[in-house]
Amino acid sequence: MTSETATAGAYTLDSRLSGALGGRTAQAIERAFGYTTVGDLLAHYPRRYALRGELTALATLPLGENVTIVAEVLEVRVREMRQRRGSILEAKISDGTGVLTLTFFNQKWRENDLRPGRRGIFAGKVGDYRGNRQLAHPDYELFDDEAPPTDAAAKRWAEAPIAIYPATSTLASWQMAKSIELLLDGLGPLDDPIPAAIRSERSLLGYRDALRRVHRPETEADWKQARRTLRFMEAFVLQTALLAQRAELRTRPATPRRPIAGGVLERFDAALPFQLTDDQVEVGGEIADDLAAPWPMHRLVQGEVGSGKTLVALRAMLAVADSGGQAALLAPTEVLAAQHLRSIVRMLGPDLAAELVPTLITGQLPAAERRKALLRAAAGQARIVVGTHALLGDKVAFADLGLVVVDEQHRFGVEQREALRLKGAQPHVLVLTATPIPRTVAMTVFGDLDVSTIRELPAGRAGIESHVVPLAVRPAWRARIWDRLAEELGLGRQGFVVCPAIDPKAVEDDGEVPQASAEDAATDEPVRPAASVVEVLAELRAHPRFADRVVEPLHGRMAADEKDRIMRAFAAGEIDVLVATTVIEVGVDVPNASAMVVVDADRFGVSQLHQLRGRVGRGGVPGLCLLVTHAEPGSVALQRVEAVAATLDGFELARVDLELRQEGDVLGSTQSGGRSSLKLLKVARDGEVITDARGLAAGVVDDDPTLAAHPALADAVRRRLDDEASGFLSKG
């Protein structure tokens, strides 16, 4: 392990910013970015670099956004205000192609600063005044009038890139730069987390040198090489953390869970009326091997909508039941928990169901039923327990919890999964997701888990046709939407209509409305309210084509027993159309439902639309999905909707989704928080870096699982992750 020593300095990466910069500056930075340590702020890398001779394209600046630009002052004038006392100073700056106005009220003294010909960095919010773009009261920093005296120094000064940092309305780029300069000057000895052999093999800079060059580059090559090093370091540290966690889990003792001859799993398999798909057999074998091991399983099963993940999970539960243990299935909603229980009871058949006593525990169960359910779980009578967050409560206990199954894992935080796991003695853990995950994301987010994939769909699926209904350019098509739904009902089928909101004022918790409103925010146009269950329900009930049809609502604000009653009636064919929010996104299985209309489809994410669409076409009748949108042509929102309509391949959609989404969304708040979000690493672009780093990290962890011989790497792992994620690493 090498150590590079700074000029005399007192700060470490763990030093508090308040001690290094002073309380006032530290508080401003913490409010703006959440940073509290020197290491946090030194990882606030420049978002781009400008040159002193470079002029930014002013004509393309977006209205309403905070921008940082390099430009030259053209002219300055001061005029007295007519309506009130005081003056206005206006300075015009140019990039050679466009002109921007800087406006200051009652600040005549700036006329001495902003002289024609001077260049500098200007930051502020882009506004519009009488058709002209302007920055009102911007922050700025002017370049020195005089270049350094020698020709060589002058050349270096002119060519040195200027770091432009992510900034806010209260903290300008150069204010961040000045704070970072202070930290670099005062930084003490810095050990390198990447082992010297790997640094040499990959031609990487030392950590301290990389920090200096990324923040204080003298040439373009400096910051490019620094970013390459820091990007690799980010991948390497994160992969080391995940692999170390995986290694630590395998040191814990767990009870092997094996099926027995003539046991419940064997009897279940013998009674199955169909053959398992090849993928189900393969993944089932991987799970069986994990369950038979003397350490706890931690496996993620990802699969297409309708690929049979629940059946695979049920077979794992039965293997655990054969060994005398219990299994708990954690579902994100009451509707899905109840649906899972019904599906499990149906698949087991009356004899096995009576023997295993599948039991539901949710927050809205009547008190008497809840007491009975808790007793069955605690006594071990209920070998399969299905529930929502209510399973995490203090009063829920198990006789021998051998397997935890988490459905739709992205709906649960680390602490919630941990609370359920602690109700057993090192139970095996199986995580399910119907959201296909690109390989690089799986390595980045779930690198501590073994990953299985089910791509193959069961035989007999009739497929789904998907169509975009672009009302922004084809408003007349709206009438045809309901006619097409009515035609499906006329064939004896049923349908869903999905809305992002419950009523005009209430967006469902799981909706992704902000994705649509982000584009609207840059315009002065009023944001169009999201379609709601209440309004669409009223519209359909008043529509002549649905006069003799039963149309009912379903959303998250309804009582659990009411939601369950509605779902049972829909499954029984007593309801023709369900107008719902995303509570039907996963797990709802009604083979006769053939049509789905998603209203304001642009208000949902790609994976969510794919999940919703998977509720139809599940039986022998073909599915129809109409994606209704007001998104404008050329917008990212419309691209998302069109991508979903173009393919039924969830893995292809996951790739497209990754390209369209902002990188900051990839990890998600339930996996990691602000400090552990990716900085330079882009999973959509840096697949080769992530794969390479994982391979090298695996070598380190295989040789040194506790990182005892790599203290700087161990420190980097701790520092890189936030409290929740580092807690996850210590718990599993």
| Per-residue pLDDT tens over the stretch 686-707 | 888 988 999 999 999 999 998 9
On whether both 387 and 483 belong to a single domain, the answer is no
Asked whether residue 510 falls in the same domain as residue 404, the answer is no
Q: Averaged over 322-341, what is the pLDDT?
A: 89
Q: How far is CA 288 from the centre of its chain?
A: 30
The alpha helices in 43-150, defined as continuous H runs, are: none
362 and 391 belong to one structural domain: yes
Residues 446 and 309 in one domain: yes
The structure tokens 């295989």 sit at 702
Task: Give the integer Cα–Cα distance in Å for 618 and 593.
Answer: 8
Is 250 inside a domain boundary? Answer: no
CB 210 within 8 A of CB 217: no
SS3 464: strand
Domain end among 113, 131, 146? 146
The verdict on residue 181 lying in a domain is: no
Q: Is residue 628 part of a domain?
A: yes
* pLDDT at res. 721: 64
Crossing angle between the packed helical segments 723-731 and 414-421, to the nearest 10 degrees: 30
Q: Same structural domain for residues 485 and 383? A: no
Q: What is the pLDDT of residues 363-382, one digit of tens each?
A: 888 899 999 999 999 999 99
Residues 542, 487 share a domain: yes
Residues 410 and 493 in one domain: no
Hey, what amino acid is at 224? Answer: K
Of 625, 647, 669, the residue at which a domain comes to its end is 647
Among 647, 675, 698, residue at a domain's last position: 647
* 50-66: average pLDDT: 68
Mean pLDDT of the chain: 82
Residue 83 maps to which CATH number? 2.40.50.140
Q: How many Å apart are CA 347 and CA 156, to the nearest integer?
A: 74
Q: Look at residue 41 and tell me if it is in a domain.
A: no
Residue 236 has pLDDT above 50, yes or no: yes
For residues 381 and 9, the model is more confident at 381
The DSSP string of 252-287 is S--------TTSHHHHHHHH-SSPPPHHHHHHHHHH
Higher pLDDT, 237 or 559: 237
Specify if 663 maps to a domain: no
- Is the domain of 430 the same as that of 544? no
pTM here? 0.67
Question: Could you tell me what percent of the chain has a pLDDT over 70?
Answer: 85
Q: What single DSSP character describes residue 110?
A: G
- Count of the separate structural domains present in the chain: 3
Q: To 5 degrees, how large is the angle CA 171–CA 173–CA 177?
A: 105
Rounded mean pLDDT, 205-233: 94
Q: Do 579 and 512 fall within a single domain?
A: yes
Cβ-contact 101, 132 below 8 angstroms? yes
CB 432 within 8 A of CB 313: yes
Within a domain: residue 500? yes
**Which residue's structure tokens are 């003298």?**
218
Residues 421 and 470 in one domain: no
pLDDT range class, residue 349, cuts 50, 70, 90: very high
Q: Does residue 94 belong to any structural domain of this protein?
A: yes
Are residues 478 and 448 part of one domain?
no
Query: Which domain, by its residues, includes 628?
Result: 464-647
Is the pLDDT at 507 greater than 80? The verdict is no
In angstroms, what is the C-alpha Rg of the chain?
Answer: 30
CATH number at residue 450: 3.40.50.300
Mark whether 62 and 101 lie in a shared domain. yes
The answer on pLDDT for 709 being more than 90 is: yes
C-beta atoms surrounding 724 within 10 Å: 17
pLDDT band with cut points at 50, 70 and 90 for residue 678:
confident
Domain assignment of residue 257, yes or no: no
Angle between helices 309-322 and 334-356 (to 10 degrees): 40
